Structure 1
Amino acid sequence: MENVWKIGSRWSDDGKRDSSIISIFRRSNVVFLGHKNCIERFKNEVKKGDYFAIADGLFVQSVAKATSDPIQLKELIKQNAIKVKEGEPFDLEDDWGYGVKVKIVDLPKDQMLNYKRGCFFKANSIAEKVKKLFNEKLEHRMDITAKTCRIKGKQGECNGKESIINGRTRYVIPVYQREYSWGYEQIKRFVDDIFKGFWGVDRKIIKEPLFIGTMQLSYEKYINENECEQDVIDGQQRLSTIICMLKYLKLKYPSAEALKQIGSLDWIETRVNNGKEEEYLNTMLSLDCLNNTDLDTEQNQYIRSIAVIDECFKEMTTDNEGNQIAEFSENIDSFVEYILNDILFVVIETVAGLSKTIQIFNTINTAGLDLNGDDLFKVRLYEYLHDIKGLGEETFNEIGEIYKNVKTRNHKWRKTHNWDLIDIRLVRSIYKEYIISKYKLPTSLYAKATDTFFDELFDVLLNVQGHNDMTGVERVELSLEDLWNIIEVACLWRGSDFRNNDEFIFYTLIERSRYSRYLSIAYLILLSNKDKQKEERLDEVYCVLRLLCRMFFCWSIMYARQVNEMLSLMRNIYNKTADFQNNKEDICSSLTEKIKENDNRMFRTNCIGQPIADNRVWKDLICLLSDYMDEVEVGTPLEELKDKFEWGYYDIEHIHANCNEKEGTDINGDLQNSIGNLMLLEYDINRSIGNLPFKEKKERGNNKLCYKDSCFAVVKKIMQEENWGKEEIEERRKEEIEKISRFIFEDRE
């Protein structure tokens, strides 16, 4: 059974208030101690899975769960697992203690627990409360408050508006946020708006308050009585631009009195991009002069922003001769005070777990995170791996590598192709079907949209809320390995060309059928046999597609829509693909039996032989298969076949034009619109010949397009006919029905 330990967060012998290292714990996802009287017990008794009540003084401010056994501090430091900022009360030379990796849940003020002093001991009296607080992870809380804030008001002046720079709050841009990315247009618009508010269009100082939107912050996370942290959920682009502007003003106008009230600019921290973004931020904050930054080569976006701000200021504060406008140079302090006091935000603070926090953000729908399905999946997968599986913050960067890999593959692919090889939406779609198949979840879930499926899956896995139709999803285990495997499989399938004509027609008939969605079965089969050689894996896919194309052909021309019988059958087939090697024979047998159900006179006469001209799917499938079999007979190469069957290249031609009186109008509509009188023909030829009589369609003078210009085998076959009337149409219909029936029902591997 897991123990619950109380551990202090002050790194000093006398427990000084300013020695709290809770920020290091949070940033590093580690708790550690160095008290000589406690080290042995910590090392020997703490185990992976134990809980911690992290206390500062007399109360517990955070709870945590160990994701590792105890590790020497020097080893954690060697692993770069302990992340310390300058000025914090821990020296990386203090490597003589022990620590464990943990997942931390910070408590809102109203959930903090009063508890006794001490460095490290068992917290039996609050053990159940600590476990409950950790395991709920605030997912059953949703508290929202809003307030109007300015950047920094004058001391003693509030006027109902709090200050962003308040001397106690450190703003943390969490790991799941994107990098600082505002470019020239956004920054220029921001600076222009500030100057318009300061002196209008006439350059007469008016100081009209400027509202720049909302920010969403987490609840305050306690450091000590005088200091706290808040995560920036939305607004980091504006907040980062503001800190760049304040740095610029300090460098440009160092003697301005109004700037002295700002103090240091160390109140923002970013955990994005595995420390790289923090490095860029600190480099910008350490600038001691305004250099001429080359915007085309500078990689540091914070420094690029300062250069853009400088350019905008020069444009706004100098006249046509480049001289400083007196109205500005004489009122620098007034301008700075305007920025600090009269730029207003609405700050929304939320007490909730990450999933509900993101839901709140999505409802507010401001302009920070791009919460499309792909980005939301990234955040919630990180939350699952971090909170449920106990992985560290580096996991978000590992997820980011998957997204980056997809972009890299597409960039490389695009050098020789005009389409993308893969995208994250496809990866998620495959993952949805893989999860349902692997865990034998209700087959109705296949019909859910990918975004909806993952929204509800994460709701259940993260204990946010239940969904009645998500039965059994508690058993699902998500992993990054799954995603890497899916990417490899997707690239293998989409990057592989057809090896012969049969593979091409199998794929094409499914693609043109009413059931094209089920081409995705290829991914599931490939995932089930990833240890085999590529050619053998592809053979297994086409073994199934060979049967599916025949079955879908039948059901697509029997009905004018998808039918539940097919949907139900395919869901059951999909659920067998996770163990394809053991279920292959069963899958193929069930498909074969389904095809044989239509091997009868009714199907031949009433389906293949029916009038099909008014139904796009019917006429396309039947005419395409008709020509394909003629192409095979004359030995058409694969590449030529692919060109001929390209969408938009061909049209469906009525050989006999009943509306042409010269041709004769003795053929009824059913026969006129049957396969006996229809064939593939190049689009431009079909439009050129219109409703001409048969003989003129075959041969025309003056180099006008006609049948003899066609490359289709079926047209060349028709060209051998002297006349084309009722007798010829009936005979061809009979021949085509038998030819197509042989392909469907007399399959030979």
Structure 2
Amino acid sequence: MKIDSVGSNILSLSEFKRLIQVFIELRCQLKPLKPLRPQDSELAGIVKKESFFAIELIELTRYSRYWTLPYVHAFFSCSGAGCKEDRLPIYKICLDTALTISKYLTVCSVTYDKVINPVQTFMCSTILPIMAKSSNVESHKLICEEIEKRITKSPYDPNGGSENKKWFIERISNDLFDNGKRAHIVCVLSGILEEIRCDKDLCHINEQFFSWEKFQFDVEHIYARANFSREDETNSRIYNSIGNLMVLDRNINRSIKDAPVSVKVEKYVGSKFSAVVLVNQKIKKTSTKVWKLEQVQDRLAEQCTLLCEYLGLDL
């Protein structure tokens, strides 16, 4: 399909069939009907864990409308691939490309409170044409180069300094909880990265974060908001940061409510999240099982490093 032709928005019958084939084939690799296990997907053996969830990571952002990009990319890239074995390496590159795109959309979703036009323009005027006109490998390289140039910079001034990096760190370090969407994006991404860092398998990650009908979670203040508002209000901005926030099993969160940390540690033991296990270990290392300003600042520094390194903001 030539995207610059007069009838470019109309697929031929053969193109439409290929689009359906690619969608079904890739979707079944990522979301098999039976419980997700590495042996159920040939892609699971060749794709890194982050890329396997690239579509969900795009959906997590304010720009969830671009969840179709891996399928669009695969459609353009699979033109000459006759059998599934030939298409699997193509799907891998498409997912790796989508993961890179998800990182850019994540940063812009955190630094800004809403969808902004410069990001939409970049996606439609730069990213999509590269997918349509370049080979699979070349398009991956070109898209990664474009995003690497822009991810630390303001979308309003792509030739400027590192405003995006500065604003991203500012957003996650102060009053993160005051914007629900932003807090959800950051805490879920942090939780997923902790699972990967602890070498949890695809089935575990999928069930914890992307099977809502089976398992629910909340964003949890470790040092409860009601308590720090009363005991240490002057530091409330940092207590609302990623240093004091994490994902937590909903049943545990609803049972502990605003309990002191010394009580919470006993309930945290039953959590299925690696992030909670790690926090619990830190609390228990203190002689009095406390989680106050010092502990929050330490975790904040760790989380800034974890997130910035993953997103490519340490460039």
TM over 0.5: yes
Tell me the alpha carbon deviations over residues 259-303 of structure 1, each in whole angstroms, 9 at most, x when there is no partner. xxxxxxxxxxxxxxxxxxxxxxxxxxxxxxxxxxxxxxxxxxxxx
Task: Select the residue among 250, 254, 267 that pairs with 1:683.
Answer: 250
Change over 3 Å in CA distance of 1:483–1:718 after alignment to 2: same
User: Mean alpha-carbon deviation: is it higher for 604-613 or for 736-745?
Assistant: 604-613
Write out aligned runs for 1:96-175 (5 A): none
- Name the one with the larger strand percent: 1
Query: Which whole-Å CA distance do the structure 2 matches of 1:597 and 1:478 have between them?
Result: 37
Q: Which residue of 1 aligns with 2:40?
A: none
Q: Is contact 2:242–2:300 with CA below 8 Å preserved after alignment?
A: yes
Q: Which residue of 1 aligns with 2:185?
A: 621
Task: Select the residue among 23, 31, 35 that pairs with 1:490.
Answer: 23
Q: Which residue of 1 aligns with 2:241?
A: 674
Superposed displacement of residue 488, structure 1: 0.7
Q: Which residue of 1 aligns with 2:134?
A: 580
Q: Which residue of 1 aligns with 2:307?
A: 740
Q: What is the letter of the counterpart of residue 510 of structure 1?
A: I
Query: Which whole-Å CA distance do the structure 1 matches of 2:253 and 2:103 have between them?
Result: 29
The answer to whether 1:696 aligns with 2:263 is: yes
Q: What is the letter of the counterpart of residue 486 of structure 1?
A: L
Task: Select the residue among 637, 642, 645 that pairs with 2:206.
Answer: 642
Query: Which whole-Å CA distance do the structure 2 matches of 1:588 and 1:694 have between them?
Result: 43
Q: What is the letter of the counterpart of residue 117 of structure 2?
A: N
Q: Is contact 1:658–1:665 with CA below 8 Å preserved after alignment?
A: no
Task: Select the residue among 118, 121, 128 that pairs with 1:568.
Answer: 121
Q: What is the letter of the counterpart of residue 557 of structure 1?
A: V
Change over 3 Å in CA distance of 1:728–1:680 after alignment to 2: same
Change over 3 Å in CA distance of 1:717–1:477 after alignment to 2: closer
Superposed displacement of residue 596, structure 1: 3.6
The answer to whether 1:717 aligns with 2:278 is: yes
Write out aligned runs for 1:316-715 (5 A): 438-440=2-4, 473=6, 478-497=11-30, 499=44, 500-530=48-78, 531-532=80-81, 533-572=86-125, 573-581=127-135, 583-597=139-153, 602-646=166-210, 647=212, 649-660=216-227, 664-666=231-233, 668-699=235-266, 706-715=267-276
Q: Is contact 1:485–1:527 with CA below 8 Å preserved after alignment?
A: yes
Query: Which whole-Å CA distance do the structure 2 matches of 1:611 and 1:489 have between them?
Result: 43
Change over 3 Å in CA distance of 1:668–1:509 after alignment to 2: same
The answer to whether 1:731 aligns with 2:285 is: no
Query: Which whole-Å CA distance do the structure 1 matches of 2:273 and 2:230 have between them?
Result: 24
Write out aligned runs for 1:141-220 (5 A): none
Query: Which whole-Å CA distance do the structure 1 matches of 2:59 and 2:196 have between them?
Result: 20
Q: Which residue of 1 aligns with 2:33?
A: none
Query: Which whole-Å CA distance do the structure 1 matches of 2:133 and 2:51 have between them?
Result: 24
**Identity, % of aligned positions:** 25
Q: Is contact 1:525–1:580 with CA below 8 Å preserved after alignment?
A: no
Tell me the alpha carbon deviations over residues 327-378 of structure 1, each in whole angstroms, 9 at most, x when there is no partner. xxxxxxxxxxxxxxxxxxxxxxxxxxxxxxxxxxxxxxxxxxxxxxxxxxxx
Q: Is contact 1:556–1:618 with CA below 8 Å preserved after alignment?
A: yes
More RCO (CA 8 Å, sep 6+): 2
Once superposed, what is the RMSD of the aligned Cα atoms?
Answer: 2.5
Q: Is contact 2:228–2:239 with CA below 8 Å preserved after alignment?
A: no
Q: What is the letter of the counterpart of residue 580 of structure 1?
A: S
Q: What is the letter of the counterpart of residue 592 of structure 1?
A: E
Q: Is contact 1:558–1:607 with CA below 8 Å preserved after alignment?
A: yes
Query: Which whole-Å CA distance do the structure 2 matches of 1:660 and 1:491 have between them?
Result: 50
**TM-score normalised by length of structure 1:** 0.35
Q: Is contact 1:650–1:680 with CA below 8 Å preserved after alignment?
A: yes
Q: Is contact 1:658–1:664 with CA below 8 Å preserved after alignment?
A: no
Superposed displacement of residue 693, structure 1: 0.4
Q: What is the letter of the counterpart of residue 574 of structure 1?
A: L
Query: Which whole-Å CA distance do the structure 2 matches of 1:636 and 1:707 have between them?
Result: 18
Superposed displacement of residue 644, structure 1: 0.9
Change over 3 Å in CA distance of 1:492–1:580 after alignment to 2: farther
Superposed displacement of residue 474, structure 1: 5.3
**TM-score normalised by length of structure 2:** 0.79
Query: Which whole-Å CA distance do the structure 2 matches of 1:677 and 1:634 have between them?
Result: 20
Change over 3 Å in CA distance of 1:481–1:604 after alignment to 2: closer
Q: Is contact 1:659–1:665 with CA below 8 Å preserved after alignment?
A: no
Change over 3 Å in CA distance of 1:718–1:482 after alignment to 2: same
Q: What is the letter of the counterpart of residue 602 of structure 1?
A: K
Three-state SS of the structure 2 residue aligned to 1:688 is helix
Larger Rg over CA atoms: 1
Three-state SS of the structure 2 residue aligned to 1:652 is strand
Unaligned 5+ segments in structure 2 are 31-42, 155-161, 284-288
The 4+ residue runs of structure 1 with deviation greater than 4 A are 474-478, 598-601
Q: Is contact 1:660–1:691 with CA below 8 Å preserved after alignment?
A: yes
Tell me the alpha carbon deviations over residues 593-615 of structure 1, each in whole angstroms, 9 at most, x when there is no partner. 12243756623531232312132
Query: Which whole-Å CA distance do the structure 2 matches of 1:473 and 1:611 have between them?
Result: 50
Superposed displacement of residue 664, structure 1: 2.8
Q: Is contact 1:595–1:745 with CA below 8 Å preserved after alignment?
A: yes
Three-state SS of the structure 2 residue aligned to 1:524 is helix
Query: Which whole-Å CA distance do the structure 2 matches of 1:495 and 1:747 have between them?
Result: 35
Q: Is contact 2:151–2:313 with CA below 8 Å preserved after alignment?
A: no
Superposed displacement of residue 486, structure 1: 1.3
Q: Which residue of 1 aligns with 2:286?
A: none
Tell me the alpha carbon deviations over residues 137-159 of structure 1, each in whole angstroms, 9 at most, x when there is no partner. xxxxxxxxxxxxxxxxxxxxxxx
Query: Which whole-Å CA distance do the structure 1 matches of 2:141 and 2:253 have between them?
Result: 45
Q: Is contact 1:663–1:693 with CA below 8 Å preserved after alignment?
A: no
Superposed displacement of residue 476, structure 1: 6.3
Unaligned 5+ segments in structure 1 are 1-434, 441-471, 700-705
Superposed displacement of residue 632, structure 1: 2.0
- Name the one with the larger helix percent: 2
Superposed displacement of residue 552, structure 1: 0.6
Three-state SS of the structure 2 residue aligned to 1:670 is helix
Three-state SS of the structure 2 residue aligned to 1:676 is coil
Change over 3 Å in CA distance of 1:539–1:556 after alignment to 2: same
